[in-house]
Amino acid sequence: MQKTLTRLSLVLGITCALQSQSQTITETFETFTLSTGSYYQNTNGDDWQDAQATFRYDYSSGYWSGGSAYTNMADSTNGDFSHLYNCRAKTGYNGSSVYVTAQQDAIIKLNNPYMAVKGFYVTNTTYAYKSMKNGDAFAKKFGGTSGNDPDWFKLTVRAFRGGVMQPDSAEFYLADYRFSNNSQDYIVQNWQWVSCDSLDSADSLIFHLSSSDNGSFGMNTPAFFSIDDLTFQSTVGVEEYSAFADYNMFPNPAVDLLNVRFTSKESAQALVSIHNMVGTEIRHEAISLNPGLNTLQLSVEDLAPGIYILELASDKYAQKVKFTKQ
């Protein structure tokens, strides 16, 4: 009875205090530690992650073979196959130290299913820029000898949800020589904003590159690009409330353990509960919140595979987020 009364008082308090909010979080990658002039490298091919997303990374046959790597390489001059990580802008967006260089069809998996990618800054790698600007042993000089060839290099971002590709996409031309006036032709050298507002909420994104320069083995243009300041937007609605700051839940889908991290403004008593999709409470437990960062680790090993709702509720705030148990 005491637990029931405690929960009832929490719900009554929440009814008066809930506000639907939207939260924007920007990942600058500056928290990643690197020695000067280096980059993420993992010979086991382990993915890497920040609080909001997991970045696919592949390593095979002694080299980086796919995905994304964070880097602080500051070289806008050397551009060839032995200098893959450099961006043409030399530093990260707004002069920052760390940014990300990615390959063709790089995948980013969102840790929270209610966080959508609002956008990011993008630029060419030094390798791709030099190849398009001057041509090399594999790729042509953009514009050709006359400068009139209508060449182009494009980044397309697509969203997946539940393994299904969503219909909309976000597109950005990293180079465009299709103008009738050649003075308008360009190859991107500085950081440019790419809006992802056209994309539906997603659990993962894929970054695809395409070019007008293709051969027998596919695209000739070096399939690399750099991004920075990846910005996320919470997609809250009637059932999802952004009341606790920096709320993050991972991994999602979960197998054995579910981690929940959030910031509380004050000390408080709260309840953590898990519900199935028809609203039935599976279990709940009382917890104490501390001012600042709070971390919870919940066992979900006993749950049947499916979709659940995790609710964190105090007398002032509540947060409801769906998660999947594999």
Q: Mind listing the pLDDT tens digit for each residue in 173-183?
A: 999 999 999 99
Could you give the count of Cα atoms lying within 13 Å of 81 in the half-sphere of its Cβ?
8
The reported pLDDT for the residue numbered 292 is 87
Average pLDDT, the chain: 86
The reported pLDDT for the residue numbered 284 is 87
Residue 245: strand, helix, or coil:
strand
pLDDT at 7 over 50: no
Strand bridging mode 48-49 / 24-27: unpaired
244 pLDDT band, cuts 50/70/90, is low
Q: Are residues 128 and 16 in the same domain?
A: no
**Longest CA pairwise span in the chain (Å):** 84
Q: Are residues 201 and 102 in the same domain?
A: yes
Percent of the chain with pLDDT over 90: 57
Any residues with CB less than 8 A from the CB of 2 and at least 6 apart, and which?
none
Please identify, among 184, 207, 234, the residue that sits at the C-terminal boundary of a domain: 234
pLDDT at 22 over 80: no
Lowest mean pLDDT among 72-86, 241-255, 303-317: 241-255
Number of domains within the chain: 2
* DSSP state string for 189-231: -S-EEEE-TTSPP-SEEEEEEEES-EETTEE-S--EEEEEEEE
Q: How far is CA 286 from CA 3, 272, 280, in A?
A: 9, 6, 18
Q: Are residues 7 and 49 in the same domain?
A: no
Q: Residue 241 is part of a domain; what is its CATH number?
A: 2.60.40.2550
pLDDT tens profile 201-228: 788 999 999 999 999 999 999 999 999 9
Q: Are residues 277 and 222 in the same domain?
A: no
Please identify, among 184, 214, 234, the residue that sits at the C-terminal boundary of a domain: 234
Q: Are residues 173 and 254 in the same domain?
A: no
List residues bridging with 69 in a β-sheet. Answer: 101
Q: Are residues 28 and 18 in the same domain?
A: no
Q: Are residues 91 and 108 in the same domain?
A: yes
pLDDT tens profile 268-324: 888 888 988 666 788 888 888 888 888 899 999 999 988 888 888 776 667 778 888
**Of 232-246, 249-263, 266-280, highest mean pLDDT:** 249-263
Q: Residue 179 is part of a domain; what is its CATH number?
A: 2.60.120.1350
Q: Are residues 114 and 178 in the same domain?
A: yes
Locate all alpha helices (DSSP H) within the chain, ordered by sequence: 2-17, 126-134
pLDDT tens profile 88-99: 999 999 999 999
Please identify, among 199, 234, 269, the residue that sits at the C-terminal boundary of a domain: 234
Lowest mean pLDDT among 8-17, 52-61, 64-73, 122-131: 8-17
pLDDT tens profile 30-39: 999 999 999 9
Q: Are residues 73 and 176 in the same domain?
A: yes
Q: Are residues 222 and 292 in the same domain?
A: no
Q: Are residues 124 and 256 in the same domain?
A: no
Q: Are residues 115 and 259 in the same domain?
A: no
pTM confidence score:
0.68
Range of the domain at 125: 24-234
- Quick check: 316 and 268 in contact, CB under 8 A? yes
| Closest by CA position to 271, among listed 6, 5, 2 | 6
The reported pLDDT for the residue numbered 316 is 65
CB burial readout 101-139, b (16+ within 10 A) else e: bbbbebbbbbbbbbbbbbbbbbbbbbbbbbbbbebbeeb
pLDDT at 240 over 50: no
